[in-house]
C-alpha cells in the first residue's frame, strides 16, 4: 500500500509546481488537465469504472461484484472517498491531492487484503475546490448538489476576463450541460474525505490521524472602493480621492474587529486600478475571507466591516457563504471506533476552520466524515505545508479500514435526508 502511495505521489508531485516549490493548479487550466489525465490513468490502471458528472467532477468506481456498477449502484448507495486536486496560488502539495492519492492507495490495500466490497466504492476528484481562478470555493461540489446555480458559475470570470463557460469549452466540456447531477448523487451513500490537517492539533496531541466534527461558518465578500485617478506628484492631498485609503481601512479593520469578536479574517486578494506607482488609484477591489467558531460573531463582524466601508463610499457583495457545517456524528463515532488503537490512544475529533467538499455534501444531506492527517508544520495554503510519509501511510490505512467497515455490509451506508434536494439559494451559492 505504501509503495503504490509513494509512486503515485512522486508521479503527481511535479504537476503544476512553481519555482518557489508551491503549486499553481487552477481549475480548467492546462495543469488541471494534466491532473485529470493522471486521475484517469490511475483509474484505468486499476480497472475502475470512470465517469464525469455534470459539474465536471471525476468519479472512479470499484465494483467486482455481480452485474455492472450501474446495476450495483442502483439503490445500494456506495462508499465514496476522494478530495480535490486543484490548489490556491502557490499552495502546498498536500491540500487536496493527499485525499485523492490516499483513496486509490486504500483500494490497492483492500484488494491486496482480499477485500471484496458489498457496495460500490468510489474515488472522486472534485473540480475547483479552492475557487482560486473564478472566486467560488467548492464550485464542483456546489454545482453537483445544486448549491451553485450553473448560470451564475458560467458567468464568473478569472483575472484575465475569461468566463467559466469559455474555460469549460477550452477544456472540451459543453457549458450547457453544467449543473446538478442527480444520477451521480444517487450513487453516494457515505463520503469520507481524507485531508492534510491545516493546523497543529495532531502534532500537539502526538497522534497521526483524527476525525472531523464540523466546519466553521465562513464566507467571502467583495469590497469595491471608488476613487479618482490623478497624478501622484502634482495633486494636493486635500484634492485626492485615493481608493487605497478605504481599502487600507478594511485591511486593518478586519484584524481589529476579528480580534475583538474572537473570529479570523483576512483580505488575501486585491486588485488596483490603474495600478501605476505614480498614479492615484481610481478603484480598489479587496476580497475579505471571514470565519469563526461562532456564526453570530462572524455575521456581526462582517456587518460591522461592511457598515464601516459603505460609510466611506464602498460597495460590498457577498460572493459565498457556508453556515456552520456538522458532519454525521454517527459516522464520525463509527470511524473512531474502527480507527481507535488497542493501546487506548483514541482518535481525536477536531473541528476545522477550513472549507471542504465534504462540508458541501454534508450540507446537502449526505452522510459525510473527514479524516485528518498530521501536518508537522501546521501550515497550509503555502509551500511549507507537509505530512511525513509514515503519517501519509497511516492515513491510507485509516481510510482503508473506514471503507472496509462502510462497504463491508450491504447496508453499509446511510441514505440521504430530504435536504438532498438542495436547490440554488441567493444566486445559487450559500
Query: Which residues sit at the interface with Mn ion, rule CB under 5 A?
Result: 95-96
Question: CB 381 → Mn ion: shortest distance, Å?
Answer: 6
Contact of residue 108 among ligand HGY, Mn ion, none (CB under 5-8 Å per partner type):
none
Q: What is the chain's Cα-based Rg? A: 22
Closest to 130 (Cα-Cα) out of 253, 6, 35, 4: 35
Instruction: By CB under 6 A, name the one of 165, 185, 297, 354 that touches ligand HGY.
Output: 354
Question: CB 405 → Mn ion: shortest distance, Å?
Answer: 24
Residues of span 215-274 touching ligand HGY by CB under 6 A: none
Cα angle 218, 220, 224; round to 5: 150
Tell me how far apart the alpha carbons of residues 87 and 94 are, in angstroms, rounded to a whole number.
9
Question: CB 353 → Mn ion: shortest distance, Å?
Answer: 11
Assess contact for 99 and 195: CB atoms under 8 A: yes
All three cell numbers of 227, joined, read 476613487
Tell me how far apart the alpha carbons of residues 303 and 293 are, in angstroms, rounded to a whole number.
17
Query: Cβ–Cβ contacts within 10 Å for residue 206, how many?
Result: 8
Of the candidate spans 107-115, 129-137, 225-233, 263-271, the one that interacts with ligand HGY by CB under 6 A turns out to be 129-137
C-alpha torsion sign, points 164, 170, 174, 180: negative
Indicate whether 399 belongs to the interface with ligand HGY (CB under 6 A).
Answer: no
Closest to 403 (Cα-Cα) out of 177, 142, 197, 191: 191
Assess contact for 140 and 134: CB atoms under 8 A: no
Tell me how far apart the alpha carbons of residues 104 and 181 are, in angstroms, rounded to a whole number.
23
Question: CB 142 → ligand HGY: shortest distance, Å?
Answer: 11
Looking only at Cα atoms, what is the longest distance across the chain?
Answer: 80
Name which of 348 and 353 has its Cβ closer to ligand HGY.
Answer: 353
Evaluate the omega torsion of the peptide bond into residue 278 and state whether it is cis, within 30 degrees of 0: no
Name which of 334 and 356 has its Cβ closer to ligand HGY.
Answer: 356
Indicate whether 130 belongs to the interface with ligand HGY (CB under 6 A).
Answer: yes
Which 8-state DSSP code applies to residue 208? S
Contact of residue 156 among ligand HGY, Mn ion, none (CB under 5-8 Å per partner type):
none
Question: CB 204 → ligand HGY: shortest distance, Å?
Answer: 21
Binding pattern to ligand HGY, positions 79-118, x when CB under 6 A? Answer: ----------------------------------------
Name which of 129 and 181 has its Cβ closer to Mn ion.
Answer: 129
Assess contact for 289 and 270: CB atoms under 8 A: no
Indicate whether 357 belongs to the interface with ligand HGY (CB under 6 A).
Answer: no
Name which of 42 and 357 has its Cβ closer to Mn ion.
Answer: 357
Which 8-state DSSP code applies to residue 17? B
Question: CB 87 → ligand HGY: shortest distance, Å?
Answer: 9
Query: Cβ–Cβ contacts within 10 Å for residue 53, how many?
Result: 23
Question: CB 250 → Mn ion: shortest distance, Å?
Answer: 23
Question: CB 65 → ligand HGY: shortest distance, Å?
Answer: 35
Is 275 buried (19+), middle (13-18) or exposed (0-12) by CB count in 10 A? exposed
Instruction: By CB under 6 A, name the one of 82, 217, 355, 395 that touches ligand HGY.
Output: 355
Name which of 137 and 396 has its Cβ closer to ligand HGY.
Answer: 137
Indicate whether 137 belongs to the interface with ligand HGY (CB under 6 A).
Answer: yes
Name which of 54 and 220 has its Cβ closer to ligand HGY.
Answer: 220
Contact of residue 355 among ligand HGY, Mn ion, none (CB under 5-8 Å per partner type):
ligand HGY
What is the β-pairing status of strands 58-62 and 49-52? antiparallel
What is the β-pairing status of strands 58-62 and 121-126? antiparallel
Contact of residue 137 among ligand HGY, Mn ion, none (CB under 5-8 Å per partner type):
ligand HGY
Contact of residue 136 among Mn ion, ligand HGY, none (CB under 5-8 Å per partner type):
none
Question: CB 129 → Mn ion: shortest distance, Å?
Answer: 6
- What is the three-class DSSP state of 317? strand
- Give me the residues that bind ligand HGY (CB under 6 A), please: 129-130, 137, 354-355
Amino acid at each position: 500500500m505504501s509503495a503504490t502511495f509513494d509512486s503515485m505521489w512522486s508521479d503527481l508531485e511535479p504537476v503544476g509546481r512553481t519555482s518557489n516549490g508551491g503549486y499553481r493548479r487552477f481549475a480548467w487550466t492546462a495543469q488541471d488537465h494534466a491532473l485529470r489525465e493522471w486521475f484517469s490513468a490511475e483509474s484505468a490502471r486499476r480497472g475502475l469504472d470512470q465517469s464525469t458528472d455534470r459539474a465536471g467532477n471525476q468519479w472512479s468506481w470499484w465494483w467486482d461484484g455481480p452485474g455492472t456498477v450501474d446495476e450495483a449502484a442502483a439503490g445500494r448507495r456506495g462508499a465514496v472517498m476522494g478530495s480535490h486536486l486543484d490548489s490556491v496560488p502557490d499552495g502546498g502539495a498536500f491540500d487536496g491531492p493527499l485525499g485523492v492519492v490516499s483513496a486509490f492507495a486504500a483500494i490497492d490495500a483492500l484488494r491486496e487484503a482480499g477485500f471484496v466490497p458489498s457496495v460500490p466504492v468510489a474515488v472522486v476528484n472534485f473540480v475547483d475546490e479552492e475557487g482560486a481562478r473564478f472566486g467560488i470555493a467548492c464550485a464542483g461540489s456546489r454545482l453537483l448538489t445544486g448549491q451553485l446555480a450553473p448560470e451564475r458559475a458560467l458567468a464568473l470570470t478569472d483575472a484575465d476576463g475569461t468566463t467559466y463557460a469559455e474555460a469549460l469549452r477550452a477544456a472540451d466540456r459543453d457549458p450547457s450541460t453544467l449543473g446538478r447531477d442527480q444520477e451521480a448523487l444517487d450513487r453516494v451513500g457515505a463520503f469520507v474525505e481524507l485531508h492534510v490537517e491545516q493546523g497543529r492539533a495532531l502534532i500537539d496531541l502526538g497522534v497521526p490521524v483524527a476525525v472531523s466534527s464540523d466546519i466553521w461558518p465562513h464566507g467571502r465578500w467583495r469590497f469595491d472602493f471608488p476613487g479618482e485617478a490623478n497624478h501622484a506628484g502634482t495633486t494636493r492631498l486635500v484634492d485626492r480621492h485615493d481608493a487605497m485609503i478605504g481599502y487600507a481601512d478594511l485591511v486593518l479593520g478586519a484584524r481589529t474587529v476579528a480580534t475583538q469578536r474572537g473570529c479570523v479574517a483576512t483580505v488575501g486578494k486585491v486588485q488596483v486600478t490603474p495600478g501605476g506607482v505614480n498614479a492615484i488609484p481610481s478603484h480598489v477591489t479587496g476580497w475579505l475571507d471571514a470565519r469563526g467558531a461562532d456564526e453570530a460573531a462572524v455575521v456581526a463582524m462582517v456587518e460591522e466591516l461592511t457598515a464601516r466601508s459603505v460609510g466611506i463610499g464602498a460597495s460590498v457583495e457577498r460572493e459565498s457563504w457556508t453556515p456552520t457545517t456538522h458532519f454525521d456524528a454517527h459516522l464520525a463515532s463509527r470511524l473512531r471506533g474502527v480507527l481507535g488503537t488497542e493501546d487506548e490512544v483514541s482518535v481525536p475529533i477536531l473541528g476545522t476552520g477550513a472549507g471542504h467538499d465534504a462540508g458541501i455534501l454534508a450540507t446537502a444531506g449526505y452522510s459525510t466524515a473527514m479524516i485528518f492527517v498530521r501536518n508537522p508544520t501546521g501550515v497550509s495554503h503555502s509551500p511549507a505545508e507537509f505530512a511525513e510519509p509514515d503519517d501519509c501511510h497511516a492515513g491510507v490505512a485509516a481510510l482503508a479500514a473506514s471503507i472496509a467497515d462502510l462497504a463491508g455490509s450491504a447496508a453499509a451506508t446511510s441514505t440521504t435526508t430530504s435536504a438532498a434536494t438542495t436547490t440554488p439559494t441567493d444566486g445559487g451559492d450559500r
